[in-house]
């Protein structure tokens, strides 16, 4: 006798509602990975979400968690305050590349360096999404945006910033990994990394960081499929995937 079972199980903490994200935007995927990690680790009830400013400003509508909206770039500082006030809770920030790597560069660097026991999920789509596609610190050389219409130029705008490498270099950091969600294999690796990041928070070993390479079809002026392809052909070569710091990694024998 056979029995039908459901293969897809969406965590309860992932709110069952349509999102405002554009077709093909991978914020939804990243949210799901966080929801799955928190559920797998049994942390949902003690988690506090620190939102940020960008397309994901409404993340508190999609994850059923205690949450606070922080000013642009300041989420790591707000998170520091929350974690210091409630050290037994799981505290995480969810930030885009404008929020974290531009206006928030000081806050993320110092939060990571102090080794605050919080987790940051950093979504890198090489543009400012919410405000209409301006250049971000992660915009690639030659990439056209509304504030570098001729394409990002090294002499004028500098080179794109690789955040995971920088964060990994700071003393208080326990875990730093870069992932992508452009295919199933990478999604599975991403899920593992996000889970590990939260797990390290429970162990109190320092700051954990996951950079998620993601699409922005609208502001890249591409279809979702084209945008997803760009992650593979243009972004991953400049922002290589992989683990850059893991203080609990066992030595390879």
Partner 1 sequence: MPSRVEFREDRCKGCLLCTEVCPTGIIQQSSRFNQKGYKVTEITPDMMSQCKGCAFCAMMCPDYAINVYTTKQAKGGKK
Partner 2 sequence: MSTPERIFVKGNEAISRGALAAGMKCFFGYPITPQNDIPEFLSQALPDAGGQFVQAESEVAAANMLLGAAACGIRAMTSSSSPGMSLKQEAISYMAGSEIPGVIVNVSRGGPGLGDIGPSQGDYFQSVKGGGHGDYKLLVLAPGTVQEAYDLTIKAFDLAFKYRNPVLVLADAIIGQMKEPVVPWVPENRDPEEGQAWGLQGAKGRDPRLLKSLFLDDGALAGQNLKLQAKYQAMQAEVDQEMFLTDDADLIVVAYGSIGRIAKSTVRKLRAQGKKVGLVRPITLFPFPADVLLKLAKEGKRFLTIEHNMGQMVEDVRLSIRTVADSALHCQLPGNLPTPDDFEEPILKALEG
Binding region for partner 1 (CB under 8 A): 1-8, 10, 14, 16, 18-19, 21-29, 32, 183-184, 187-188, 217, 223-225, 228
CB of 52 or CB of 208, closer to partner 2: 52
Contact 75, 93 (CB under 8 A): yes
Of residues 22, 15, 18, the one with CA closest to residue 125: 22
What is the C-alpha separation between 227 and 236, in angstroms, rounded?
13
What is the C-alpha separation between 246 and 13, in angstroms, rounded?
28
Report phi then psi at 18, rounded to 5: -70, 150
| Cα 134 to chain centroid, rounded | 19
Residue 247: CB minimum distance to partner 2, A: 29
Q: Which of 94, 128, 200, 220 binds partner 2 (CB under 8 A)?
A: 128
137 binds, among partner 1, partner 2, none (CB under 5 to 8 A by kind): partner 2
Q: Which of 150, 185, 233, 250 binds partner 2 (CB under 8 A)?
A: 150
How many residues touch partner 2 under the rule CB under 8 A: the total is 24
169 binds, among partner 1, partner 2, none (CB under 5 to 8 A by kind): none
Q: Other C-beta atoms within 10 Å of 84: how many? A: 11
Q: Pick the stretch among 58-66, 88-96, 99-107, 177-185 that binds partner 2 (CB under 8 A).
A: 99-107
Q: Which of 67, 68, 141, 148 binds partner 2 (CB under 8 A)?
A: 148
Q: Which of 72, 89, 114, 189 binds partner 2 (CB under 8 A)?
A: 72
What is the C-alpha separation between 5 and 9, in angstroms, rounded?
10
Residues 6+ apart with CB under 8 A from 227: 24, 215, 216, 217, 220
Residue 146: CB minimum distance to partner 2, A: 4
CB of 23 or CB of 149, closer to partner 2: 149
């Amino acid at each position: 006798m056979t029995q039908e079972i459901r293969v897809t199980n969406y965590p309860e903490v992932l709110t069952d509602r349509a999102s405002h994200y554009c077709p093909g935007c991978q914020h939804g995927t990243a949210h799901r990975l966080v929801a799955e990690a928190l559920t797998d680790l049994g942390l949902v009830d003690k988690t506090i979400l620190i939102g940020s400013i960008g397309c994901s400003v409404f993340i508190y509508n999609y994850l059923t968690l205690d949450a606070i909206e922080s000013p642009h770039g300041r989420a790591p500082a707000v998170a520091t305050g929350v974690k210091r006030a409630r050290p037994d809770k799981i505290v995480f920030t969810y930030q885009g590349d404008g929020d974290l790597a531009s206006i928030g560069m000081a806050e993320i660097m110092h939060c990571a360096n102090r080794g605050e026991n919080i987790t940051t999920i950093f979504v890198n789509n090489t543009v400012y999404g919410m405000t209409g596609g301006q250049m971000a610190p992660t915009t690639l050389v030659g990439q056209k945006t509304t504030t570098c219409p001729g394409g990002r130029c090294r002499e004028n705008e500098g080179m794109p910033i690789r955040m995971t490498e920088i964060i990994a270099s700071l003393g208080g950091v326990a875990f730093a990994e870069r992932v992508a969600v452009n295919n199933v294999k990478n999604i599975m690796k991403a899920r593992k990394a996000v889970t590990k990041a939260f797990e390290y928070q429970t162990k109190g070993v320092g700051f954990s960081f996951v950079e998620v390479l993601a699409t922005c079809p609208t502001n890249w002026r591409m279809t979702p499929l084209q945008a997803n392809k760009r992650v593979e052909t243009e972004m991953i070569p400049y922002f290589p995937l992989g683990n850059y710091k893991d203080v609990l990694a066992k030595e390879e024998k």
